[in-house]
Chains A and B, each alone.
Chain A
Amino acid sequence: MNVTTQSAAKTSSGLLSIVFVALIGATMLFFAGHAQSATLHDAAHDMRHATGFPCH
């Protein structure tokens, strides 16, 4: 019983946590790579050029 509950919980939280982790990654990617705020842009400038992101 206990085992089934656990594995069921693991599977159902699985998809949610997958989406969650992917969203964190995508958000970080956006701020580090694409956000056009001047401060972020200047700080990330060399990395953006060197990663092939559209920089400015």
Chain B
Amino acid sequence: MLAGGLIAGFAAGLLAALLHFAFVQELILLGEDYETGAVVHFTGAGEAAEATGHDHDVAGHDHGDGTAAHDHAGDADEGSALTRNALTVLFTALIYASYGLILVAGFALAEHFGRAISAREGLLWGIAGFVALQLAPAMGLAPELPGSVAADITERQIWWLGTVLATAGGIALLAYGANVLTALAGIALLAAPHLIGAPHPEGFYGVAPPEVAGEFAARVLGVGLVAWAALGWLTGRLWAQDEA
């Protein structure tokens, strides 16, 4: 059980890391350029921005006094880009390995209750895992581009965890539930985190441009979907081989 989840997890993690460097990393670096003040949002902005009367001096672009939620200025200096990217590959593989373990635990639970798991079920589980661990939390807490602002980290982590558990439980009830009542309970679980609402900051004063943040969030979710689908399919395939 362990081996299949770990192998599939590391493989999916490497795929995710590859896609990360193809689509996401450049936007993180660009966000950090805004975060550290190396690049300033609105500088050289077109006439449209001028016409809307934005005051460029006070629009939250004051990088000097540390009002940004987090200071990454040292990150680039401390380690070379190579070390930084190697760590990203390592941790991406680790995080997908942990997803893989949670998936096989779910497979084992499903088989315990007499449901067979094949590569096809694995694919569906992978997509469900993407929804539970990435898409649903992202609907309240969009993937954060460096240079964005967000509410208190502990509150966000609590909402994130609650949303993941509720969404996973809701999908499981919808997929494997026996009757209308379990389906209704599943829908209630899916909706609950969003009715409660994610913690948000009191004001928005992120220094990174919304255009970059939007593209970042969309790419993160796209990469996540592909990697999770591959993870689920491969985990299911290895699982079915093990059982055979």
Contact = CB atoms under 8 A, between A and B. Distances in A.
A21 to B, nearest CB: 4
Nearest to B137: A52
Contact of B84 (A19, A29, A34, A46): A46
Interface on chain A toward B: helix, strand, loop, or mixed SS?
helix
Nearest to B134: A52
B105 interface: yes
B2 A21 contact: yes
B39 interface: no
Contact of B143 (A19, A45, A52): A52
A18 to B, nearest CB: 5
A33 B92 CA distance: 10
B8 interface: no
A27 B98 CA distance: 8
A18 B112 contact: yes
Interface string A1-33: 000000000010011011101101111110011
B231 interface: no
Given A21-B104, A43-B87, A51-B224, A28 B94 contact: yes
Contact size class for B? 35 or more
B9 to A, nearest CB: 9
B1 A51 contact: no
A54 B24 CA distance: 17
A54 B69 CA distance: 13
A33 B95 contact: yes
A44 B106 CA distance: 26
Nearest to A33: B95
A14 B112 CA distance: 8
B91 A32 contact: yes
A34 B87 CA distance: 16
Nearest to A22: B105
Interface in B69-101: 69-70, 72, 75, 78, 84-85, 87-88, 90-92, 94-95, 97-101
A51 B75 CA distance: 19
Contacts of B108: 14, 17-18, 21
B25 interface: yes
Contacts of B1: 17, 21
10 contacts: A22-B101, A29-B95, A32-B91, A46-B84, A50-B20, A50-B92, A51-B95, A52-B138, A54-B144, A56-B69
Interface of A: 11, 14-15, 17-19, 21-22, 24-29, 32-34, 36, 42-56
Q: Which 8 A-B pairs have the closest CB atoms?
A: A25-B101, A28-B98, A22-B105, A54-B156, A25-B102, A52-B143, A47-B91, A29-B98
